[in-house]
Structure formats: C-alpha cells, structure tokens
Amino acid sequence: MKYDLDIIVPVFREEGNISKTIEEIFKISEINFRVLVVYDFDEDPTIQVIKNNFDKSQIICLKNKYQGLNGAIKTGFENIQSKATLLYPADDHENFNLISKMFYKFCEGYDIVCASRFIDGGSYEGAPIIKRLIVKFVSFTLTNFTSLPTKDATNGFRLFSKSIVEKFPIKSKKGFTFSIELLAKAHRYNYKITELPEKWPVRTSGESKFSYYTIPFYFKWYLYILMSAFIK
C-alpha cells in the first residue's frame, strides 16, 4: 500500500504514554499514513505495550541504528517512503488534530510545516522556566532580526517534505537540534515554510528528552540563521 505520510515517533521508556498517543493518531481517517516507532533497546517496555495492544500493519517498530534521540530520528528518516514525514512526540496526547492540518499545508506546496507555540492559538506551559526563557529569547530574536517564517524555531514537532530530508542529510548529533538545522538550511535556500499554532502539552508520564547540555548545539544553528540574514 502506498502511504502519503510517515509519522516518526521516537521512544525511550514511553510505556506510560504510547498507547494513548497511538490511539489519538489513529483517529485520523482522511490520510493514508504509517507510524514509525523508533526505539533504542530491545527490552524497552514501550515496544511490548505496542505489540500487546495494537495489531496494525501501519505501525512499524524500528531499532535505532545509532544512539539517542537524534539517532532515532536519523533512523526514521532513512526508512521513510512517503512524500512527507512528520515528527510526533510520544508524550503528546493533545495535538493529533494538527497532523492533518500540517499535511494539508504540505499539499498546498510548503516544504516545512512548523507547530508553533508562539502565534495566536498556541501556548507554551509546563516546561522548566529556564528552558522557557531560552526558547522565547531565541524565538524573539530570530523573529525580529531575520526573515525566518516561523516564530518557533526550536520546536521539534514538524512536518518535512521528503525532498528536504533527502537534500539536507542531518549533521546534528544531539537531541532535537536536527529540527533547527533543517529549518535553517531550508530557509537559506528559499524553501517554503509555514506554521500552525500548537498548545504545548504538559507531560503526565515518563521523562522529558530535553537536556541543557544540548543548548550549545542549538546555538550553532541559531547563529547560522542570524548570519544568513546578513550575509547573502
């Protein structure tokens, strides 16, 4: 069967979240899609929860070929077959309705569709205050000093066209830094980018994959976008 969209869900001990997340995703009926669940180790109870509760050919469990969250995303990208792919957080039970909206924006001709916490209709609650301040500072400066067409540069919840994934192999090695990397490169080469509002969910189970030691890796691509605004 040919699919229109591959939804990549990286997991690491998300057994408390994954059933609800998959149930919400499968409420989508208007798009032919696959879910690529990428896991780090065979004993991860998340995978057993999936096997025990779901019997769907649309769910593919992939072992991470590399290491960590960034490696899981690379593994997912290497296995996409659809014309678009979307990164969806394993702990997000609230924004599944955005998936269809993001895909329709892709069908309008956009190469990247960003979920944005900082436009009308979006919100950003529940994260540690230091993380919120850093994210808001990055978003404010890029919005006001560059022509970047999204107010939420660091959010990992995004849809990418297959052409973007193939054109720009990921160089980042930590966390969700790949997301700002692809955004920076696509913007530099005039690919079409848009955004839709997202209400950031408060995690109710498991642990956040964000780590403060990844901040310098984000900063590299932050500077890339700033410099691209002034050096053509």
Q: What is the mean pLDDT of each run of 10 residues along the chain (232 residues)?
A: 94 94 94 97 96 93 93 96 95 90 98 96 84 89 93 94 96 86 94 95 58 76 88 65
pTM above 0.95, yes or no: no
- Lookup: tokens for 186: 């696509």
Instruction: Kindly provide the b/e burial profile for residues 197-206, where b requires at least 16 CB atoms within 10 angstroms of the residue's own CB.
Output: bbbbeebeeb
| Domain segments of the chain as ranges | 5-230
User: What is the architecture of the domain spanning 5-230?
Assistant: Alpha-Beta Complex (3.90)
Longest dimension (CA), the chain: 54
Query: Are 75 and 3 a contacting pair, CB within 8 Å?
Result: no
pLDDT at 210: 57
pLDDT at 218: 84
Query: What does the angle CA 17 – CA 204 – CA 181 come to, to the nearest 5 degrees?
Result: 75
**Number of DSSP helices (H) and strands (E) in the chain, helices first:** 8, 7
